Structure 1
Amino acid sequence: MHKAELRRQMLALRRALPATEVSRRSTALLRQLQQHFEVVQWRWVHVFLPAARQQEPDTWPIIQWLWAEHPTAQVAVPVVQADGITLRHYHLTPETHLVESRWGIPEPTGATEVASAAFDAVLLPLLAFDERGHRVGYGKGFYDRFLTECRSETLCIGLSLEPPVPQITDVWLGDVPLHACLTPERVWWF
């Protein structure tokens, strides 16, 4: 299946989900993370903040769990830069002030920047993924560019409300594959 078609289908499917179902599936993603990953070994975790308008997985339960149960794992979140093509990453604490971006995404203000090379794990947003670990995002390439700046041992973990499709047919060389993807039912390893 081609990325453009997957984007259309998955956006429509996601927008049709009731908020209670997004919440239920998001909680299941947290359980998968808790059961299948050695989070205690992570020093820096990159987590996206959800765009509620897009019915993205709610990552706040993951963030709050990290703060409460793994205080040595520092959390950072992305901010799209003015050039519209790059991300910078900022330390997120319970005290961090957030403002909503033009895309409806909470972004930190006045927080300390964190280098891409610092991350032990990156939890990635996506619209779809396939059984080989390729993902479809919103099509801007933010995360593919960012992931090339991370260390080779940084875990790339997708968060998906839906199971994978068999194959994304128009993968290109710049697409950075996932190491794993959490779904409400299971973890897919690649």
Structure 2
Amino acid sequence: MSSDLSKATLRRAALAQRAALPAAEVAQRSTQLCEQLFQHFPVAEWRWLHVFLPLARRNEPDTWRIIHRLWAQKLPVQLAAPVVQPDGISLKHYELTPTTPLRENRWAIPEPVPEAAEVAPALLDAVLVPLLAVDAAGHRVGYGGGFYDRFLAQCRPGALFIGLSLLDGPPLAPIADVLPTDVPLRACLTPGGVWRF
């Protein structure tokens, strides 16, 4: 990888690596991420877990494996999922249950319909965060829209922010262009293990 550790360079490299993964590899690595989450975190003790719903055509981690495991085990954890707002820069969050109707937004990401119960960020015990790369301080590279940094800033102190990465390997050297508004993660799950920051 280039010595340029700007977000734009890291984003391009990670998107290319992830796009090269065959569907079977994405499925296997997503299962490993699910195992890492349940092995390393007290999931059953959380009241509210926020989970992004995957955009399959971009080879995002298949978080449905985590969701279905929670429902199958009947753990007392309530789930929330994001909905991009009409302003195009902010998120609201709605309860996700086995009967919640979903619809795709303009980016083809599934979202709960807003008739579901809205969930305030302050209620969340943990948030599973999409990312493309992360550095040793827990700063992440996402798609560049800032949605999650604005959202994570609204969560209560002590909430766990856990990144999910399909790409293995240690965290990067410091990202060159971290902003004051960037909210660092507490941990990042990879198929091979967990990094804590």
Shorter-normalised TM range: over 0.9
Aligned twin of 1:49: 53
Asked if 2 retains the 8 angstrom alpha-carbon contact of 1:27 and 1:61, the reply is yes
2:12 maps to 1:5:
no
1:39 matched to 2:43? The reply is yes
SS of corresponding position for 1:7: helix
Secondary structure of the equivalent of 2:80?
strand
Q: After superposition, where does 1:64-75 map in structure 2 within 5 Å? A: 64-75=68-79
Give the CA deviation at 1:165: 2.2
Q: Scaled by the length of structure 2, what TM-score is found?
A: 0.94
Whole-angstrom CA distance in 2 between matches of 1:67 and 1:77? 15
- In the alignment, structure 1 residue 119 sits paired with structure 2 residue 124: yes
Task: For 1:140 and 1:131, locate their aligned partners in 2 and report how far apart those are by CA, in whole Å.
Answer: 22
Task: Supply the AA of the counterpart residue of 1:177.
Answer: P
Q: 1:70 offset after TM fit, Å?
A: 4.7
Instruction: Kindly report structure 1 stretches of 4+ aligned residues shifted beyond 4 Å.
Output: none
Q: Does 1:20 align with 2:27?
A: no
For 1:141, the equivalent position in structure 2 comes to: 146
Give the TM-score normalised by structure 1: 0.97
Q: Is the 8 Å Cα contact of residues 66 and 73 (structure 1) preserved in structure 2?
A: yes
Encode CA deviations 1:139-158: one digit per residue, 9 max, x unaligned. 11100000111001100000
Q: Distance in 2 between matches of 1:170 and 1:20?
A: 34
Q: Distance in 2 between matches of 1:28 and 1:167?
A: 26
- Matches for 1:159-170 after TM superposition, within 5 Å: 159-162=164-167, 163=169, 164-170=171-177
Residues 44 and 75 in structure 2, CA contact (< 8 A), matched pair in contact too = no
Residues paired across the two proteins, number: 190
Task: Map residues 103-114 of structure 1 onto 2, 5 A cutoff.
Answer: 103-109=107-113, 110-114=115-119
Deviation track 1:87-128 (CA, whole Å, cap 9, x = no partner) reads 000000000111111111101112111001010000000011
Q: State the distance in 2 between where 1:12 and 1:186 align.
A: 22
Alignment partner, residue 175 of structure 1: 182
Cα RMSD after superposing both structures: 0.9
CA distance in 2, matches of 1:149, 1:4: 26
* Percent identity between the two aligned chains: 63
Please give the alpha-carbon distance, in whole angstroms, between the structure 2 residues aligned to 1:167 and 1:22: 27
Instruction: Give 3-state SS (helix, strand or coil) of 2:13's partner.
Output: helix
Q: 1:185 to 1:137 in 2, by over 3 A?
A: same
Question: What secondary structure does 2:155 align onto?
Answer: coil
Q: How big is each residue's C-alpha offset from its partner over 1:132-176, in whole Å with a ceiling of 9 and x where there is no partner?
A: 211000111100000111001100000001133232111111100
1:60 matched residue in structure 2: 64
Q: Which runs of 5+ in 2 are unaligned?
A: none
Q: Give the unaligned 5+ runs of structure 1.
A: none
CA contact (8 A) 1:39 1:70 kept: no
